């Protein structure tokens, strides 16, 4: 066998290593012969699919995977979209009966570590990491709270336990399969479209048609507050994506038009999800700003009258 062929076979050979924390190296080692506890190990995003499928049992975020109060392991996503876990954390924090599943999705290193995690873990700095869905949850909560101050009842209803668990563990599509985008977008639609309470909107609007749906009521309410750019359009586009088959089906002219309206035609799943989430956050942030301005105007009016 030629030397080059032998080298190729060696390079393709599966390498394994213990993740027992007691057998891994530390910063106190003098010879550096042991693989370090903080050696980053990488996995395809699909490794998280079974956990995402049970949001009432598993809690997922951009920095943590946990199972009820039983166990939890720190994770992160690098710029190549891979899940990163430290070798020692796999042995210390992940139950041994989960190791086989994770080994199936183990891949060679690719990309750079999340900057926030690097600064926290290796430089000892206070630093955050990008977490779009966390920011979206905060934006929804702030919009609901502000609307309650202005209208007496929040525009977005409290979520039932099942939907809340899905929303709290939402981290976006976990594969490049076209169907993988549908699930996360369905959760967003349930939370941000189905979750609208039309009652406070109807109580505020002077006139409305009995057939007007909550999205149209929200659009008109935003216009009364001073919206001139149709900030709620993204929510209608999201609803249209669901109703036109963009979630239940993978193809067809309706789906293509719905994708075009969402501005995600031809985009990879993760990039498409990030874009949609960012647009929704902009909608909620602008709506909150308009409501805050209305509150301040009302307060000034009361002060002038007094």
Left, alpha or beta for 67 (phi > 0: left; psi -120 to 50: alpha)? beta
**CA 171 from chain center: how many Å?**
3
Are 218 and 196 a contacting pair, CB within 8 Å? yes
- Predicted local confidence at residue 259, as pLDDT: 86
What's the pTM value of the predicted model, to 2 decimals?
0.86
- What three-state secondary structure class fits 225? helix
Bridge partner residues of 64 (DSSP)? 74
Helix (H) or strand (E) holding 76: strand 76-77
- Predicted local confidence at residue 245, as pLDDT: 60
Positions of the chain with pLDDT lower than 50, given as ranges: 1, 9-10, 248-250
- Predicted local confidence at residue 6, as pLDDT: 52
- Predicted local confidence at residue 9, as pLDDT: 47
- Predicted local confidence at residue 10, as pLDDT: 46
- Residue spans of the domains in the chain: they are 14-123, 132-300
Task: In whole angstroms, give the CA distance from residue 259 to residue 246.
Answer: 8
Give the DSSP letter of residue 23: G
137, burial (CB in 10 Å: exposed 0-12, middle 13-18, buried 19+): middle
- Predicted local confidence at residue 2, as pLDDT: 52
**CA 30 from chain center: how many Å?**
42
């Amino acid at each position: 066998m030629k030397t080059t062929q032998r080298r190729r076979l060696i390079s393709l050979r599966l390498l394994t290593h213990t993740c027992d924390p007691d057998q891994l190296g530390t910063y106190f080692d003098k010879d550096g012969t042991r693989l370090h506890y903080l050696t980053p190990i990488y996995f395809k995003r699909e490794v998280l699919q079974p956990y995402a499928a049970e949001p009432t049992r598993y809690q997922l975020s951009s920095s943590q995977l946990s199972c009820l109060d039983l166990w939890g392991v720190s994770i992160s996503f690098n710029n190549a979209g891979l899940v990163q876990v430290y070798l020692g954390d796999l042995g210390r924090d992940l139950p041994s009966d989960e190791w086989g599943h994770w080994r199936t999705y183990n891949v060679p290193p690719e990309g750079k570590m999340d900057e926030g995690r690097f600064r926290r873990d290796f430089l000892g700095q206070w630093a955050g990491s990008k977490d779009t869905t966390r920011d979206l949850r905060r934006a929804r909560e702030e919009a609901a709270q502000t609307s309650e101050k202005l209208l007496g009842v929040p525009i977005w209803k409290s979520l039932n336990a099942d939907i809340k668990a899905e929303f709290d563990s939402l981290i976006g599509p976990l594969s490049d399969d076209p169907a993988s985008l549908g699930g996360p977008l369905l959760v967003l639609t349930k939370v941000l479209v189905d979750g609208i309470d039309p009652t406070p909107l109807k109580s505020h609007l002077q006139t409305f048609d009995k057939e007007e749906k909550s999205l149209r009521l929200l659009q008109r309410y935003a216009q009364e507050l001073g919206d001139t750019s149709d900030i709620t359009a993204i929510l209608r586009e999201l609803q249209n994506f669901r109703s036109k088959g963009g979630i239940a089906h993978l193809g067809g002219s309706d789906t293509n038009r719905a994708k075009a309206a969402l501005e995600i035609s031809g985009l990879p799943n993760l990039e498409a999800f990030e874009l949609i989430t960012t647009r929704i956050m902009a909608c909620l942030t602008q709506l909150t700003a308009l409501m805050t301005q209305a509150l301040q105007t009302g307060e000034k009016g009361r002060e002038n009258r007094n």
